[in-house]
Amino acid sequence: MTMTTPTATGTTMLDDFLVRAALAGLGLSLATGPLGSFVVWRRMAYFGDATSHAAILGVALALATGLPVVAGTLVIALAMAVTVATLAARGWAMDTTLGVLAHSALAFGLVAVSFVPGARTDLSAWLFGDILAVSRADLGFIWGGAVLVLGLLAWRWQALLTSTLNEDLAHASGLNPARERLVLTLALAVVVAVAIKVVGALLIAALLIIPAAAARGLSRTPESMALLATLFGAASALAGLQLSLWEDTPAGPSIIAAAAILFALSAIFGRMRRS
Amino acid sequence: MTDDALIRADHLTVTLDAHPVLSDVTLAIRPGEIVTILGPNGSGKSTLLRALLGILPATRGRVTRRAGLGIGYVPQRLAIDRTLPMTVRRFLSLPARVADAAAAAALARVGLPDVAQRQMADLSGGQFQRVLLARALLSQPQLLVLDEPTQGLDQPGEAAFYRLIEEVRRETGVAVLMVSHDLHVVMAASDRVICLNGHICCEGTPRVVSTAPEYRALFGLGTQGALALYQHVHDHSHDAGGQGHAHPRHAHDHDHADSHGHHHA
């Protein structure tokens, strides 16, 4: 993409909103690639929905109390993720439970936001993201969060994979599957908190699932799938930004649309290769 | 029960959702022996294994494991989600990464030297179980725990699998604790059989157990056929039992069994 880098004294590359937007998308992909792979492997798609929809409630909380938005969304996303994980462990019917929680969280969030003066006008930014308005501070949170999640997943990688395969197997190997579930729950909450600025509460789950799903057909090992999902996520972010720039489309949905096209291409390519 | 036990349960009672699934089970597994737990569906076999592995807590009684006991576990069902790409080689490196040479040796040991780069999802049922066994052996355990390892295999496949277990035990001295709900070839491969139906009904050598009245009460008329097959395989007498004329030559000839279906120097 074209970058008009200001060269005047006292300015840096980061002064360009497009550079910041691109860096935000790339940073986020570092976390969403591997985490999204686990979301797909463990069939946690709806879990991601519930957690990210709850983030709107976090936005309302932050705006009402004057807390930073990242803190508000992190707290509420974490509360939702822990609630869902606890109910799942108790054997609730997850499909229905998650459906109730995801949509209730969104509805309550939207109602709560309407009580906060001024927030109503920004609503679409929280729902669909506002990557072009990413500040330096936002960029710091996004990269900090992404590196944290990536580090957490890398540290627990073998244990996470074993627990994902079979919890009894993990248990018999001296691992604690409940702890590994908690690792993913934490990682999901962090990603939701930093991603809301980029693609918005409604599309975070899409950014987790679609690149990973696109990577599946082209991968032979879990690692190659996670890596490919990261690359697809990064490519989608850049392509979506470019589209947004050319056609003045909303950036968040454009990124997801680009990811969806990548998924379709990957599915067609995978089918052709097999036949 | 002597002190050399690898793992023991003392008056173990496990209650699930207020239902007593196991009551007052006492058993011990000693180094190098092959013990099979036999019981009908719902008799608490898997619950017993899970309690021994420490996955389920004991409601009463206790489970003691020898300090530092290494357990290789082969679960009853391992459904690898279709969304998870996994080669056999990668699978062997879970949870601990292993060297290529060790992985190759483990696959050769279970008679599958050429599957390392295959996807787990593309393996046949018998191959899949052998790969699970190879993975369990890689940690060089003192105890192998197998939960209905031959479910879904045909009878020759089942016989071959139990022969493999016996060979592995002979070579490594590993103790084996298996669970089964079928009576067929499994009895021939066991040193000791424990009949379970919520509690221990009877135990002893396969021959003793198969004639015990508790065992007959539990398994009914099918017993005759199973006993016939057991004797058939062991004694190589062609006149006993109509069912399962599964490779009678292979059943007593290990070299033949090894070369069955793959080449193996």
Q: What CATH number corresponds to the domain at position A29?
A: 1.10.3470.10
Q: Residue B7 forms beta bridges with which residues? A: B29, B65
Residue A217 falls within a domain, yes or no? Answer: no
Residues of A with CB under 8 A from a CB of B: 40-43, 158-159, 161-162, 164-166, 168-173, 175, 213, 216, 219-225
Contacts with A166 from chain B: Cβ below 8 Å? 75, 78
Residue B140 falls within a domain, yes or no? Answer: no
Within an 8 Å CB–CB cutoff, is residue B96 touching chain A? Answer: yes
Contacts with A175 from chain B: Cβ below 8 Å? 95
Confidence of residue B185 (pLDDT cuts 50, 70, 90): low
Query: Taking CB atoms and an 8 Å limit, are A220 and B85 in contact across chains?
Result: yes
Residue A244 falls within a domain, yes or no? Answer: no
Confidence of residue B159 (pLDDT cuts 50, 70, 90): confident
The domain that holds B214 is classified in CATH as 3.40.50.300
CB B219 within 8 A of CB B183: yes
CA-to-CA dists, residue B216 to B22, B37, B202, B212, B221, angstroms: 21, 15, 11, 6, 7
Query: Taking CB atoms and an 8 Å limit, are A168 and B71 in contact across chains?
Result: no
Mean pLDDT, residues A132-153: 95
Residue B202 falls within a domain, yes or no? Answer: yes
Please name the residue ranges forming H helices in chain A: 17-41, 45-65, 69-89, 94-114, 123-128, 136-165, 167-172, 177-199, 204-216, 222-247, 251-274
CB B132 within 8 A of CB B112: no
Residue B257 falls within a domain, yes or no? Answer: yes
Residue of A3 and B45 predicted with greater confidence: B45
Query: Taking CB atoms and an 8 Å limit, are A171 and B94 in contact across chains?
Result: no
Residue pLDDT, tens place only, A251-260: 999 999 999 9
Amino acid at B231: Q
Within an 8 Å CB–CB cutoff, is residue B265 touching chain A? Answer: no
Query: Taking CB atoms and an 8 Å limit, are B85 and A222 in contact across chains?
Result: yes
Query: Taking CB atoms and an 8 Å limit, are A168 and B54 in contact across chains?
Result: no
Within an 8 Å CB–CB cutoff, is residue B70 touching chain A? Answer: no
Residue A139 falls within a domain, yes or no? Answer: yes
**Which residues lie below 8 Å from residue A230, measured CB to CB, with a gap of 6+?**
A29, A30, A32, A33, A34, A211
Report CA Rg, chain A: 19
**Which residues lie below 8 Å from residue A123, measured CB to CB, with a gap of 6+?**
A110, A113
Determine the pLDDT at residue A23. 95
For chain B, percent of residues with pLDDT exceeding 90 = 48
User: B95: cis peptide before it, omega within 30°?
Assistant: yes
Query: Taking CB atoms and an 8 Å limit, are B95 and A170 in contact across chains?
Result: yes
The pair of three-digit structure tokens given for residue B131, joined into one six-digit string: 């790969």
CB B35 within 8 A of CB B190: yes
Determine the pLDDT at residue A45. 84
Please name the residue ranges forming H helices in chain B: 45-52, 88-92, 100-109, 125-138, 155-172, 206-211, 213-219, 222-235, 248-252, 254-258
CA gap A274, B111 in Å, rounded: 28
For residue A144, the distance in angstroms to the closest alpha carbon of chain B comes to 28
Residue B164 falls within a domain, yes or no? Answer: no
Residue in this structure with the two tokens 């392509």, named with its chain if needed:
A239
Contacts with B145 from chain A: Cβ below 8 Å? 172
For residue B236, the distance in angstroms to the closest alpha carbon of chain A comes to 38
Within an 8 Å CB–CB cutoff, is residue B252 touching chain A? Answer: no
What's the mean pLDDT when you consider all of chain B?
A: 81
Query: Taking CB atoms and an 8 Å limit, are B95 and A175 in contact across chains?
Result: yes
Q: How far is it between the farthest Cα atoms of chain A?
A: 62
Q: Closest by alpha carbon to B198, among B17, B18, B8, B19?
A: B19
Q: Residue B177 forms beta bridges with which residues? A: B35, B145
Residue pLDDT, tens place only, A231-257: 999 999 999 999 999 999 999 999 999
What is the 8-class DSSP label of residue B119? B
CB B8 within 8 A of CB B64: yes
CB B244 within 8 A of CB B230: no
Length of chain B, please? Answer: 265
Q: Residue B196 forms beta bridges with which residues? A: B200
Within an 8 Å CB–CB cutoff, is residue B17 touching chain A? Answer: no
Instruction: Measure CB to CB from residue B83 to each of A41, A173, A221 and give the nearest one.
Output: A41
Residue pLDDT, tens place only, B86-99: 999 999 999 999 99
Q: HSE (CB half, 13 Å, CA atoms) of B162?
A: 32
Within an 8 Å CB–CB cutoff, is residue B97 touching chain A? Answer: yes
For residue B230, the distance in angstroms to the closest alpha carbon of chain A comes to 31
Determine the pLDDT at residue B234. 40
Determine the pLDDT at residue A40. 95
CA gap B58, B124 in Å, rounded: 36
Look at residue A110 and give its three-state secondary structure. Answer: helix
Residue A245 falls within a domain, yes or no? Answer: no
What is the 8-class DSSP label of residue B27? E
Look at residue B203 and give its three-state secondary structure. Answer: strand
| B33 C-beta neighbours (distance < 10 Å), count | 16
Confidence of residue A209 (pLDDT cuts 50, 70, 90): very high
Residue B255 falls within a domain, yes or no? Answer: yes
For chain A, percent of residues with pLDDT exceeding 70 = 95
Query: Taking CB atoms and an 8 Å limit, are B53 and A224 in contact across chains?
Result: no
CB B130 within 8 A of CB B78: no
Residue pLDDT, tens place only, B187-246: 777 889 898 989 998 888 887 887 788 877 777 655 444 444 444 344 433 443 334 333
Query: Taking CB atoms and an 8 Å limit, are A219 and B85 in contact across chains?
Result: yes
Residue A96 falls within a domain, yes or no? Answer: yes
Within an 8 Å CB–CB cutoff, is residue B53 touching chain A? Answer: yes
CA gap B167, B126 in Å, rounded: 17
Within an 8 Å CB–CB cutoff, is residue B78 touching chain A? Answer: yes
**Structural domain span for residue B28:** 1-70+177-265
The pair of three-digit structure tokens given for residue B148, joined into one six-digit string: 């209905």
Query: Taking CB atoms and an 8 Å limit, are A158 and B97 in contact across chains?
Result: yes
Query: Taking CB atoms and an 8 Å limit, are A171 and B53 in contact across chains?
Result: yes
| B260 C-beta neighbours (distance < 10 Å), count | 15
Evaluate if residue A31 carries a pLDDT over 80.
yes
Contacts with B50 from chain A: Cβ below 8 Å? 168
Within an 8 Å CB–CB cutoff, is residue B67 touching chain A? Answer: no
Torsion angles phi and psi, residue B28, rounded to 5: -145, 145
What is the 8-class DSSP label of residue B63? E
Q: Residue B12 forms beta bridges with which residues? A: B25
**Structural domain span for residue A102:** 15-201
Judged by average pLDDT, the poorest of A39-43, A100-104, B139-143 is A100-104
Query: Taking CB atoms and an 8 Å limit, are A220 and B119 in contact across chains?
Result: yes
Residue A242 falls within a domain, yes or no? Answer: no
Residue of B124 and B77 predicted with greater confidence: B124
Evaluate if residue A11 carries a pLDDT over 50.
yes
| The total number of structural domains that make up chain A | 1
| The total number of structural domains that make up chain B | 1
